[in-house]
């Protein structure tokens, strides 16, 4: 229990616990909307926001939140306009993010710990980051609680939701901004390159065993918490980047659940 002797570890565990709840929660809707790669797209844009904030001596998290939120709204607009090629909107924004990030990071006056943002770092989580994460999580949970039924309806039948006079455009826009916010929350712990794994993999694992939408939400949050807390704690003792460990634990969970699920089905079939 010596990890609790360090303030940065306490901050990291608090932040990780919140992120482990929010990312799978948002990820369930993202995956079912078939926007699983949005994490990669927005994280690359977020990196350009981090670089921009660093140039002007601003807060990197605020910079990444602004950049990714703008990108999220643009993705939603492109997704609507390119219905048959909705995935192109994600590819376009991802390419733009990589390009802008490359230019900004190559500038001589940009100096920040690139590795920590790429793969996550428990030592870089500040008190200000924790406060931002807590406030953001409260906003996200409040939104989902207020519009849960509408979100489920839109997720499974967007056209039907429009005919039912649900404010689909408004809800989608706010939802995409909050997806960007959840990704920004995750950057310190998981890193830019691996953030999408915490959104998609726990959800994919939960869908293997869940029998209802709410049970899928519960399992995805459970798997997400196990993965991210394991990553943070093991990274402390093993002196490794938490992002890589989180992804490995998430994939192991998926493999174990898939194998067990297949075994149980085979046993039931034979019976």
pLDDT digits over 85-103, tens only?
Answer: 666 767 777 778 778 877 7
Instruction: Evaluate if residue 221 carries a pLDDT over 90.
Output: yes
Distance CA 241, CA 265 (A): 37
Residue 228 lies in a domain: no
Domain count along the chain? 1
Nearest CA to 195 among 206, 182, 178? Answer: 182
The whole-chain average pLDDT of the chain stands at 84
**Are the C-beta atoms of 20 and 72 separated by less than 8 Å?**
no
Nearest CA to 125 among 6, 238, 226, 26? Answer: 6
Q: How would residue 256 be classed by pLDDT, with cut points 50, 70 and 90?
A: very high
Q: Which residues of 60-69 are buried (b: 16+ CB within 10 A; e: fewer)?
A: bbebbbbbbb
Q: What is the mean pLDDT of residues 256-266?
A: 86
Where is pLDDT greater, at 117 or 134?
134
Residue 61 lies in a domain: yes
DSSP conformation class of 143:
H
Where is pLDDT greater, at 246 or 1?
246
Q: What is the mean pLDDT of residues 199-215?
A: 91
The alpha carbon dihedral of 182, 47, 250, 239 has a sign of: negative
- The reported pLDDT for the residue numbered 112 is 56
Residue 269 lies in a domain: no
Q: What is the mean pLDDT of residues 180-186?
A: 85
Instruction: Evaluate if residue 253 carries a pLDDT over 90.
Output: yes
Distance CA 195, CA 176 (A): 16
Residue 152 lies in a domain: yes
Instruction: Evaluate if residue 110 carries a pLDDT over 60.
Output: no
Backbone angles phi, psi at 194, to 5 degrees: -120, 5
Question: Which structural domain range is residue 133 located in?
Answer: 2-194
Residue 54 lies in a domain: yes
- The reported pLDDT for the residue numbered 85 is 61
The CATH number given to whatever domain includes residue 117 is: 1.10.3470.10
Q: What is the mean pLDDT of residues 55-64?
A: 80
Backbone angles phi, psi at 241, to 5 degrees: -65, 130
**Are the C-beta atoms of 185 and 19 separated by less than 8 Å?**
yes
Residue 200 lies in a domain: no
- The reported pLDDT for the residue numbered 192 is 74
Q: What is the mean pLDDT of residues 142-148?
A: 94
**Are the C-beta atoms of 88 and 19 separated by less than 8 Å?**
no
Residue 141 lies in a domain: yes
Distance CA 180, CA 112 (A): 22
Residue 85 lies in a domain: yes
Q: How would residue 84 be classed by pLDDT, with cut points 50, 70 and 90?
A: low
- The reported pLDDT for the residue numbered 163 is 87
- The reported pLDDT for the residue numbered 29 is 92
Nearest CA to 20 among 233, 238, 171, 255? Answer: 233
Nearest CA to 176 among 56, 33, 47, 61? Answer: 33
pLDDT digits (tens, 9 = 90+) for 29-51: 988 888 777 877 888 888 888 87
Helices 168-186 & 60-81 angle (0-180, nearest 10) = 140
Distance CA 260, CA 160 (A): 37
């Amino acid at each position: 229990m010596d990890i609790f002797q360090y303030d940065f570890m306490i901050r990291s565990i608090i932040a990780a616990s919140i992120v482990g709840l929010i990312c799978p929660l948002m990820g369930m809707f993202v995956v079912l909307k078939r926007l699983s790669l949005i994490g990669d797209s927005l994280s690359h844009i977020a990196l350009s926001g981090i670089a921009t904030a660093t140039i002007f001596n601003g807060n990197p998290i605020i910079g990444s939140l602004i950049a990714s939120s703008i990108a999220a709204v643009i993705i939603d607009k492109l997704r609507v306009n390119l219905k048959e090629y909705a995935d192109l909107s994600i590819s376009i924004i991802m390419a733009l993010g990589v390009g802008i990030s490359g230019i900004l990071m190559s500038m001589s006056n940009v100096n920040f710990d690139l590795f920590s943002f790429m793969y996550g770092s428990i030592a870089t989580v500040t008190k200000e980051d924790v406060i931002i994460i807590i406030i953001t999580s409260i906003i996200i949970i409040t939104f989902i609680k207020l519009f849960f039924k509408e979100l489920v309806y839109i997720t499974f039948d967007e056209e039907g939701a429009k005919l039912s006079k649900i404010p689909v455009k408004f809800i989608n826009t706010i939802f995409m901004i909050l997806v960007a916010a959840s990704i920004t929350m995750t950057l310190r712990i998981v890193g830019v390159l691996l953030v999408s794994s915490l959104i998609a993999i726990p959800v994919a694992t939960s869908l293997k065993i869940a029998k209802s939408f709410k049970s899928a939400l519960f399992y995805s949050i459970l798997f997400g918490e196990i993965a991210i807390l394991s990553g943070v704690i093991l990274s402390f003792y093993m002196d490794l980047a938490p992002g890589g460990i989180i992804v490995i634990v998430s994939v192991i969970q998926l493999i174990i659940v898939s194998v067990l699920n297949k075994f149980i089905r085979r046993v039931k079939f034979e019976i």
